[in-house]
């Protein structure tokens, strides 16, 4: 639904608008929509924006907006007014005439205004973004806003008093005038079907609208072109249009197609589709957009495949911002560059829908997207609510359908009963029908979201690979860096901590101190260090155990989460100010496509005890590393080599391989007078002259009481 329009670029109505809050609902009776209404006392706001960011902090309710503009100088004959994003309820008038209404926050919507345009025009928009009332919120919600309405990473977290603060209402995306001839192109969905010979048949589905009141004959021309411009394929049809909307379908065969791949498996090849509609030989509308060819599936064993090749998702969850007007293409490029540099190949857009620019950048960078429908926790389960959510799901799929990066539609995050049995089933059925090219996940359930070492137990429980086969959330909170904390809190609230203020910013006291047992230390600096070290340690232990069980219990993982959507204290590894925590660098290391896990997992040995171990090579790439060389050794605190092994190994594609440099049951004894302190276990693997993996672990050598026998007595 987002296109490049080639005949007449859209005219933006962005910029300064007048606005007024309507606390008592008097706007309609007072005539706020009428052209001659006196709005001289109204304030100004630059659109697009979320009003929380532009003078109406924490305001929930109704705001009226007014914009005057002159008739545009166009000669195609038809004008469409388009809103790219309004949150949440909207009602629109042009020159005092009501155009219609819309509910939702992420989907574009349009009105034909040809018959209403004048030399001088007044556009009035009523926007209502309410708080949900007690009894409805939080367990019978009716606003389909996902994390933008209810979540533990938003302003106020999930508290009854503050959980709806930081309202996201407003005209947050552009407002445009689109000029076309009598037939307008509303959308195109490029369906694709692969056969066993590698041939792809495209089935473009065009949504066209006849804006006249009479039947028209038109010619529709499609051109499919490789993005490098080398090859193109054309098709045309003559079609008769009755007034209103019509779907026109094509079938186009592509031999030797260039496929789109995630960044760690191949190139991000794309195509463009150009559609031109002409009436009586005169162009009426022409649009162009990018799409990619790829086939995504999840088999009966829960293994992921792309273009027929099995792969392992190294994923994370993302919520880039609490207020979508904050983001733009440049910021998405910045964020996804950090994602890619962290060796992540799959992001889950967590219980919300983002701006179009995110998906454009993901297409270009080769980052797969798991797209959630914006449902978070519990909702009204009436037939009425189910009925109203289905068109919103259709809007999500139709709006973002052509992005090759999107691999998954997921219908709900952490549903409660009875939503999963009624609401989620209805949405799943619709999604399956609308899109056969992607994996449809009915709901991301609590059983997939595991938090040992944070909400319960100890992080060593990750040995048991909880959440298998596909944990889509796991992790621990960590405080942001000191400079970020100073931006978030006044000095008197920062240290000693004002726990009420910290809780508003999502900090979880109970879990931090009574499950994770993070020590505060004697300063805010020590607390930050301890907190970040704990998160990094938990992620390392969890992910190494998950990846070691690749395809033997685990088929993919999604850490929670990557970045803070506002100045908060959450499970992120990058804070709101885009400063990485220790967890970011740990994630970057342990998500390497080729990675070396060193064992044993022990923190301490004592003098005279026995050392044993092996290492595991994880290869997520689809290439052999034959006759790779390895070195595995143990160093004393003084840097002396205590134990060393070298060898040659073959590393298969997409594999997990454990190497045992020591013989079975072989134990190498530490001297009874071994140097105490921090020892190191190190290893590297080289393929030819290229270093493809390395790692380092530490353990502490402790003194051993003289009356305790050394390890060797067990074999005497």
pLDDT of residue 715 exceeding 50: no
Spatial separation of the C-alpha atoms in residues 362 and 84, rounded to whole Å: 20
Mean pLDDT of 268-277: 96
**Tokens representing 70?**
């002159």
Mean pLDDT of 138-153: 97
pLDDT of residue 518 exceeding 80: yes
Q: Can you list the domains of the chain with their CATH numbers? A: 4-131+167-179 (2.60.120.260), 181-291 (2.60.40.10), 296-590 (3.20.20.80), 594-715 (2.60.40.10)
Spatial separation of the C-alpha atoms in residues 469 and 438, rounded to whole Å: 19
DSSP assignment of 200-254:
EEEEEEEEEEE-SSS-EEEEEEEEEEETTSS-EEEEEEEEEE-SEEEEEE--EEE
pLDDT of residue 348 exceeding 90: yes
Instruction: Give the model's pLDDT for residue 192.
Output: 95
Instruction: Give the model's pLDDT for residue 394.
Output: 98
Run of H or E including 330: helix 329-341
Compute and round to an integer the Cα radius of gyration of the chain.
Answer: 29
Mean pLDDT of 117-143: 96
Residue 601's pLDDT band, with cuts at 50, 70 and 90, is confident
Residue whose C-alpha is closest to residue 545's, from 611, 471, 478, 612: 471
Residue whose C-alpha is closest to residue 80's, from 3, 139, 161: 3
Instruction: Give the model's pLDDT for residue 600.
Output: 76
- Whether cis (ω within 30° of 0) applies to the bond prior to 138 is yes
Q: pTM score, two decimals?
A: 0.96
Residue 454's pLDDT band, with cuts at 50, 70 and 90, is very high
538 half-sphere exposure, CB direction, 13 A CA radius: 30
Spatial separation of the C-alpha atoms in residues 684 and 488, rounded to whole Å: 41
Q: How many residues comprise the chain?
A: 716
Angle between helices 582-590 and 524-548 (to 10 degrees): 20
Residue 308's pLDDT band, with cuts at 50, 70 and 90, is very high
Mean pLDDT of 409-416: 97
**Tokens representing 143?**
């606003």
- Whether cis (ω within 30° of 0) applies to the bond prior to 48 is yes
In the chain, % of residues over pLDDT 90: 92
**Tokens representing 162?**
């503050």
Instruction: Give the model's pLDDT for residue 437.
Output: 93
Residue whose C-alpha is closest to residue 143's, from 163, 157, 159, 161: 163
Residue 661's pLDDT band, with cuts at 50, 70 and 90, is very high
Instruction: Give the model's pLDDT for residue 1.
Output: 65
Residue whose C-alpha is closest to residue 419's, from 391, 464, 385: 385
Instruction: Give the model's pLDDT for residue 306.
Output: 97
Mean pLDDT of 678-697: 97
Angle between helices 356-365 and 383-400 (to 10 degrees): 50
Mean pLDDT of 551-579: 98
In the chain, % of residues over pLDDT 70: 99
**Exposure string over 601-620, b if 16+ CB within 10 A, otherwise e:** eeeebbbbbebebebbbbbb
**Span 20-57, pLDDT tens digits:** 999 999 999 999 999 999 999 999 999 999 999 999 99
Instruction: Give the model's pLDDT for residue 706.
Output: 83
Instruction: Give the model's pLDDT for residue 131.
Output: 97
**Tokens representing 653?**
């594609």
Instruction: Give the model's pLDDT for residue 716.
Output: 43
Q: Based on the number of CB atoms within 10 Å of its own CB, is 438 exposed (0-12), middle (13-18) or buried (19 or more)?
A: buried
Sign of CA dihedral 534, 537, 541, 544: positive
**Span 169-208, pLDDT tens digits:** 999 999 999 999 999 999 999 999 998 788 899 999 999 9
pLDDT of residue 230 exceeding 80: no
Strand order of the β-sheet with 15-21 is: 43-47, 15-21, 61-70, 120-129, 88-94, 97-104
Averaged confidence pLDDT in the chain: 96
């Amino acid at each position: 639904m987002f296109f490049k329009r080639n005949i007449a670029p859209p005219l933006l109505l962005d910029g300064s608008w007048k606005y007024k809050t309507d606390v008592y609902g008097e706007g309609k009776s007072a005539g706020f929509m009428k052209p001659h209404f006196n709005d001289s006392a109204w304030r100004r706001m630059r659109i697009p924006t979320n009003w929380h960011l532009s003078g109406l902090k924490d305001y929930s309710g109704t705001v009226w907006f007014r914009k005057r503009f002159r008739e545009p100088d166009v000669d195609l004959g038809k004008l469409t007014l388009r809103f790219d994003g309004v949150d949440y309820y909207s009602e629109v008038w042009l020159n005092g005439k009501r155009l219609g209404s819309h509910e939702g926050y992420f989907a574009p919507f349009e009105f034909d205004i040809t018959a209403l345009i004048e030399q001088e025009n007044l556009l009035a928009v009523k926007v209502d973004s309410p708080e949900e009332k007690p009894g409805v919120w939080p367990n019978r919600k009716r606003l389909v806003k996902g994390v933008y309405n209810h979540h533990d990473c938003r302003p106020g977290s999930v508290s009854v008093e503050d959980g709806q603060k930081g309202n996201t209402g407003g005209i947050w995306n552009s407002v445009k005038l689109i000029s076309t001839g009598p037939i307008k192109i509303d959308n195109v969905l490029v369906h694709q079907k692969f056969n066993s010979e590698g041939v792809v048949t495209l089935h473009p589905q065009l949504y066209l609208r006849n804006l006249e009141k009479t039947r028209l004959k038109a010619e529709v021309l499609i051109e499919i072109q490789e993005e490098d411009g080398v090859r193109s394929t054309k098709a045309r049809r003559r079609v008769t249009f009755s007034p209103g909307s019509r779907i026109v379908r094509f079938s186009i065969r592509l031999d030797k197609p260039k496929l789109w791949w995630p960044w760690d498996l191949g190139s991000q090849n794309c195509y463009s589709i150009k559609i031109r509609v002409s009436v009586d030989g005169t162009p009426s509308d022409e649009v162009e957009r990018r799409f990619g060819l790829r086939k995504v599936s999840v088999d009966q064993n829960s293994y992921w495949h792309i273009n027929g090749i099995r792969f392992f998702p190294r994923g994370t969850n993302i919520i880039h911002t609490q207020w979508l007007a904050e983001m733009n293409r440049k910021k998405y490029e910045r964020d996804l560059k950090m994602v890619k540099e962290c060796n992540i190949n799959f992001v889950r857009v967590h219980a919300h829908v983002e701006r179009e620019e995110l998906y454009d950048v993901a297409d270009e960078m080769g980052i797969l997207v798991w797209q959630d429908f914006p449902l978070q926790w519990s909702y009204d389960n009436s037939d009425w609510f189910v009925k109203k959510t289905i068109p919103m799901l259709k809007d999500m799929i139709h709006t973002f359908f052509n992005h090759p990066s999107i691999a998954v539609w997921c219908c709900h995050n952490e549903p409660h009963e009875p939503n999963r049995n009624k609401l989620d089933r209805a949405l799943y059925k619709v999604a399956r029908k609308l899109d056969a090219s992607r994996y449809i996940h009915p709901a991301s359930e609590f059983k997939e979201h595991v938090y040992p070492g944070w909400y319960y137990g100890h992080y060593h429980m990750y040995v048991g690979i909880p959440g298998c086969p596909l944990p889509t959330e796991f992790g621990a909170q960590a405080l942001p860096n000191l400079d970020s904390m100073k931006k978030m809190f006044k000095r008197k609230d920062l240290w000693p901590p004002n726990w009420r203020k910290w809780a508003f910013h999502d900090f979880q006291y109970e879990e931090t101190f009574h499950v994770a047992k993070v020590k505060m230390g004697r300063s805010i600096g020590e607390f930050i260090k301890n907190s970040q070290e704990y998160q990094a340690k938990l992620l390392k232990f969890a992910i190494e155990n998950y990846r070691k069980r690749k395809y033997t219990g685990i088929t993919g993982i999604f850490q929670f989460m990557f970045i803070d959507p506002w100045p908060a204290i959450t499970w992120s590894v990058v804070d709101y100010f885009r400063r990485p925590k220790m967890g970011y660098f740990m994630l970057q290391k342990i998500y390497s496509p080729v990675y070396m896990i060193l064992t044993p997992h022990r923190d301490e040995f004592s003098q005279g005890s026995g050392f044993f171990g092996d290492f595991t090579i994880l290869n997520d790439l689809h290439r052999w590393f034959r006759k790779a060389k390895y070195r595995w050794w143990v160093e004393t605190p003084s840097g002396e080599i205590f134990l060393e092994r070298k060898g040659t190994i073959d590393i298969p594609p997409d594999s997990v391989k454990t190497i045992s440099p020591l013989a079975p049951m072989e134990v190498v004894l530490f001297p009874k007078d071994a140097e105490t302190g921090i020892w190191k276990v190190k290893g590297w693997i080289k393929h030819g002259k290229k270093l493809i993996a390395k790692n380092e672990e530490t353990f502490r050598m402790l003194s051993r009481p003289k009356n305790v026998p050394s390890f060797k007595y067990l074999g005497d």
